[in-house]
Amino acid sequence: MKKLLLIVLIFTFSACSKEVEKNSMSDLIETVMDISARQYFEMANKLESEEGRLPRTYENGEFKTSDSRWWTSGFFPGTLWYLYEYTNNDDLLRYAKLYTQRVEREKYTTDNHDVGFMLYCSFGNGLRIIGEESYKEVLLTGAKSLSTRYNEKIQLIRSWDFNKHLWQYPVIIDNMMNLELMFWASKESGDPFFTELSVAHADKTINHHYRDDYSCYHVVSYDTISGEPHIKQTFQGYNDESAWARGQAWGLYGYVVMYRETKQQKYLDHAINIADFIINHPSMPEDMIPYWDFNAPNIPDAKRDASAGAIIASALIELSDYNLGEKSKNYIKVAENQLKALASEAYLARPGENGNFILRHSVGHLPGNSEVDVPLTYADYYFIEALLRWKQRFL
């Protein structure tokens, strides 16, 4: 019976994904959401009895999980919230709550910067969608924990605590993504400190992470006495001077959030400059899903990173809101191409396959030979977010 259901699903999927390529965004979103809800229900169901575990990836036929300490722990519950928001399905709501709870202890995390990713995608979406009051305490405690990593003199939130022999005070571009939680914390608590430190962090990051062409370094480490950079390099990219695709995506998304929260023109200008670097890059493929690094040596045979494509699509949809005339139209066109590509058979997994992850072909950490050309929870999260953003604006 299960086998028959799978055959029917795969047949429907093949027919659907061909249709999706031809049809409107409305059909595409309905089809992808339907497939994704079923995939994530299955994934939630199979992990339910494994206390404290969260999905991480599916590699060599093996479903891999993590506990809440891994930086991606908030994305799976976050995607469940988005899918619940779309479907109104009670099972998805129950699972969204269950897996969100599995991340709660991260509110006490003070040994890395990933608290925003972990808590704002999970508890933040839960609070927004169902207004669960108890989630506020988790988010505020998390914001306070994250703020302990801010150094008044250096004016930045410290990202990592490892490699101490090399980096005095490492800040990675990904850290821009944790600021959304801080803005929420200021609004909720009335304490401007969280906003002030976010603005200081974003300003110093513009000055030292970004090159003249608006690409960025992955890691900048600061001298703890002078507060000035002493090392600029990569950790997950091809080389120190390359443009690691997901880093460019995090920066774009981060400065779009900075403009949303502050309405300061300099952040909008910076987001536009990053977007234009990404979109117009000579190495950007026609379907606008970037190679894992814009300077990867083996382009066009380099691996693509669906996660970077999904993050960029989501950020561009919001960026297009800010009345940029022809640029807004172009950002929407690019995001549409990206979403159509991700929804095609090239990236979208067949139901029941891919460990029940939604997208295939992301790259976690290629130089570390970890999670290369695999599904990743954050690719799924930003893909579903982008589809919902599209629906809210245009359908």
Active-site residue list: 114, 174
- Which lies closer to ligand GLY via its Cβ, residue 31 or residue 377? 377
Footprint of ligand GLY (CB under 6 A): 71, 174, 236, 246, 364
- Which lies closer to ligand GLY via its Cβ, residue 36 or residue 236? 236
- Report the nearest approach of ligand GLY to the CB of residue 235 (Å): 8
- Which lies closer to ligand GLY via its Cβ, residue 30 or residue 114? 114
Residue with tokens 């990219």: 237
Write a three-state SS string for the chain.
Answer: CHHHHHHHHHHHHHHHHHHHHHCCHHHHHHHHHHHHHHHHHHHHHHHCCCCCCEEEEEECCEEEEECCCCCCCCHHHHHHHHHHHHHCCHHHHHHHHHHHHCCHHHHHCCCCCCHHHHHHHHHHHHHHHHCCCHHHHHHHHHHHHHHCCEECCCCEECCCCCCCCCCCCEEEHHHHHHHHHHHHHHHHHCCCHHHHHHHHHHHHHHHHHECCCCCECCEEEECCCCCCEEEEECCCCCCCCCCEHHHHHHHHHHHHHHHHHHCCHHHHHHHHHHHHHHHCCCCCCCCCCCECECCCCCCCCCCECHHHHHHHHHHHHHHCCCCCCHHHHHHHHHHHHHHHHHCCCCCECCCCCHHHCCECCEEEECCCCEEEEECEHHHHHHHHHHHHHHHHHHC
- Which lies closer to ligand GLY via its Cβ, residue 219 or residue 339? 219
- Which lies closer to ligand GLY via its Cβ, residue 124 or residue 351? 124
- Report the nearest approach of ligand GLY to the CB of residue 270 (Å): 20
- Report the nearest approach of ligand GLY to the CB of residue 236 (Å): 6
- Report the nearest approach of ligand GLY to the CB of residue 117 (Å): 8
- Report the nearest approach of ligand GLY to the CB of residue 311 (Å): 9
- Which lies closer to ligand GLY via its Cβ, residue 123 or residue 292? 292
The whole-angstrom separation of Cα 100 and Cα 171 is 27
- Which lies closer to ligand GLY via its Cβ, residue 116 or residue 142? 116
- Report the nearest approach of ligand GLY to the CB of residue 25 (Å): 27
361: left (phi over 0), alpha (psi -120 to 50) or beta: left
Which amino acid appears at position 282 of this protein? Answer: P
**Residue 31, both tokens:** 């089809």
- Report the nearest approach of ligand GLY to the CB of residue 263 (Å): 27
The whole-angstrom separation of Cα 305 and Cα 379 is 9
